Amino acid sequence: MTSTVVVGGFFGDEGKGKIISYLAIKDNPKIIVRGGAGPNAGHTIHDGDKVYKVRMLPSGFLNKNAKVMIGPGVVVNPDVLLKEIQDFDASGRSFVDKYCGIIEEKHLISDSKGELKEKIGSTGSGTGPANADRAMRVLKMAKDVDSLSSLIVDVPLEVNSAIASNENVLVEGTQGTFLSLWHGTYPFVTSKDVTASGICADIGLGPKNVDEVIVVFKSYVTRVGTGPLANELSLEDAKRKGWSEFGTVTGRQRRAADFDFDLARRAIMLNSATQISITKLDVIFPDCAGKTSFEEISDEAKSFIKNIEDELNTPVTIIGTGPAINDVIDRRS
């Protein structure tokens, strides 16, 4: 039985949502718990012909036997959360901590104009201004919001009790390592630390109780919003390669570059990764689309993966080969 933390290794949008939903079903954790910033995150999950876009609900919600939780470090927009719980049939198994901060109208307003919007390219979700109010100790908490009262549990206690009783717990991060307020490309970053340590602090999980840290990299790098992106391709080149993507939350076109080993090496270090997940291998090697075993993929694709393992000195265990939840090569024994 293990606790597994999943975080993004680049600038968010690595495809964590799909990897988490795969693990949520495959490993059948008792609890799937989300850390990270807030509804600035957007995860897209394809299940059969259904496409889910979640901003607040943990991406593991498709496993109906698991409880999904949001840790006290995360700021919550009650309207967004309650709508997702209803739309995605997750009531009765979705919970928040009483100390989750609350995004209010004023945070949405201040996030949609001025410096944050223009210079940083913030998502306008109110996440940054709410976290600023939290630091000022004036932010409203989930325990003070009537519409959330039936959702409140002691998230750190639930998580640690499950681990103490040898249950699987899946911890999902949001954003990516280089959007971290501490370790990212400041000031073009989000309003929290989003490396594995920060995500664990958000949910009250101490470092000695973490078994596995999976850092998710996409086969190429994308970045939405402003800030440095080494070896950035022109939008036309990105389009030609099939790397044009649009943000889940903002709809903005993502900027793109080749897989970046310098960033990846640093992400492995900052997160103390024990495993790597590579997503969208099929975008780089179309012959890998939908493959579920490593033996089936082309030699070129195999060397791409082996090169990553050699350069980063960490095993690539989970490989995404398409948008569906089970388009995965799982090399964990």
| By the rule CB under 6 A, 40 interacts with ligand IMP | yes
Among 27, 43, 111, 202, which one carries the catalytic annotation? Answer: 43
| By the rule CB under 5 A, 131 interacts with Mg ion | no
Cα–Cα dist 86/170, whole Å:
22
Chain positions 238 to 277 lying near ligand IMP, rule: CB under 6 A, are none
Q: Which of 3, 6, 12, 155 binds ligand IMP (CB under 6 A)?
A: 12
- The residue nearest ligand IMP at its CB is 225
120 binds, among ligand IMP, Mg ion, none (CB under 5 to 8 A by kind): ligand IMP
| By the rule CB under 6 A, 122 interacts with ligand IMP | yes
Render 183-210 in DSSP notation, one character per residue: TSSTTSS-SS--SHHHHHHHHT--GGG-
Cα–Cα dist 234/254, whole Å:
11
- Nearest alpha-carbon partner for 96 in 24, 33, 164, 25: 33
Selected range binding ligand IMP among 34-42, 44-52, 260-268, 286-294, rule: CB under 6 A: 34-42
Among 13, 111, 133, 202, which one carries the catalytic annotation? Answer: 13
128 binds, among Mg ion, ligand IMP, none (CB under 5 to 8 A by kind): ligand IMP
Chain positions 186 to 245 lying near ligand IMP, rule: CB under 6 A, are 188, 190-191, 224-227
* Smallest gap from residue 6 Cβ to Mg ion (A): 13
Is 13 a known active-site residue? yes
Chain positions 244 to 263 lying near Mg ion, rule: CB under 5 A, are 248
Distances, alpha carbon 55 to alpha carbons 219, 252, 296, in Å: 23, 16, 34
Task: Please report, as a single letter, which amino acid is at residue 60.
Answer: G
Selected range binding ligand IMP among 17-25, 123-131, 198-206, 213-221, rule: CB under 6 A: 123-131
Pairing of strands 3-8, 169-172: parallel
| By the rule CB under 6 A, 123 interacts with ligand IMP | yes
Per-residue b or e along 243-271, where b marks 16 or more CB atoms closer than 10 Å to that residue's CB? bebebbbbeeebbbbebbeebbeebbebb
| By the rule CB under 6 A, 41 interacts with ligand IMP | yes
Selected range binding Mg ion among 36-44, 121-129, 162-170, 210-218, rule: CB under 5 A: 36-44
Nearer CB in complex with ligand IMP: 123/195 = 123
Cα–Cα dist 190/55, whole Å:
15
* Count of residues interacting with Mg ion (CB under 5 A): 3
Nearer CB in complex with ligand IMP: 67/218 = 218
Pairing of strands 67-70, 94-96: parallel
Residue 207 φ then ψ, to 5° = -60, -30
Residue 156 φ then ψ, to 5° = -60, -40
- Nearest alpha-carbon partner for 121 in 20, 31, 249, 271: 249
Q: Which of 21, 168, 175, 271 binds ligand IMP (CB under 6 A)?
A: 175
Chain positions 126 to 145 lying near ligand IMP, rule: CB under 6 A, are 127-128
| By the rule CB under 6 A, 44 interacts with ligand IMP | no
User: Which one-letter DSSP state was computed for residue 13?
Assistant: -
- Nearest alpha-carbon partner for 277 in 2, 20, 1: 20
- For ligand IMP, the binding residues (CB under 6 A) are 11-13, 37, 40-42, 116, 120-123, 125, 127-128, 174-175, 179, 188, 190-191, 224-227
Looking at the annotation, which residues are catalytic? 13, 43
Note the residues at the interface with Mg ion (CB under 5 A). Answer: 13, 42, 248
